[in-house]
């Protein structure tokens, strides 16, 4: 049930952003046990002036090729699962798309399961007793 936002520069070629999305989805399937067909992503390409980043942070130097990945997920995954996910996404983007590892910024937003509705105004993961 992840909901993923991918923000990156317009300078990337057509199809690149979809490949990024596929790599993220594959890593989530493997490391977060995301079910097949549970792929909800919004991909937004930006002009250079719309991606505001520092030259460096925590000793990491960024470039205009930065890719922002934010996934809203249900809470409950361990720290180790999250570390494995971050590494798998990074490895996939570096190996398959030649993205600099410094330019991969990932943020997870955890929510309670009852905060999801996948359509029809239904709380699909409502507690059984309510």
List residues with catalytic annotation. 2
* 130 in any annotated domain: no
Q: What averages of pLDDT result for each successive group of 10 residues across the chain (130 residues)?
A: 95 97 98 95 96 96 97 96 98 98 98 88 79
- Phi/psi at 68 (nearest 5 deg)? -95, 130
- Residue 16 belongs to domain with CATH number: 3.30.429.10
The total number of structural domains in the chain stands at 1
**Rounded (5°) CA angle 17-37-86:** 55
* 122 in any annotated domain: no
Q: What domain range is 52 assigned to?
A: 3-115
* 127 in any annotated domain: no
Model's pTM, two decimal places?
A: 0.92
């Amino acid at each position: 049930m992840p909901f993923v936002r991918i923000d990156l520069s317009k300078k990337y070629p057509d199809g690149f952003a979809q490949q990024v999305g596929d790599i993220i989805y594959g890593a989530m399937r493997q490391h977060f046990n995301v079910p097949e067909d549970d792929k909800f992503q919004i991909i937004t390409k930006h002009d250079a002036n719309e991606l505001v980043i520092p030259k460096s942070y925590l000793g990491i130097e960024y470039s205009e090729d930065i890719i922002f990945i934010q996934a809203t997920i249900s809470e409950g995954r361990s720290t180790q699962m999250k570390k494995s996910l971050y590494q798998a996404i990074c490895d996939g983007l570096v190996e398959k798309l030649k993205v600099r590892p410094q330019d991969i910024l990932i943020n997870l937003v955890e929510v309670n399961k009852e905060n999801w509705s996948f359509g029809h105004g239904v709380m699909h993961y409502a507690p059984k007793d309510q």
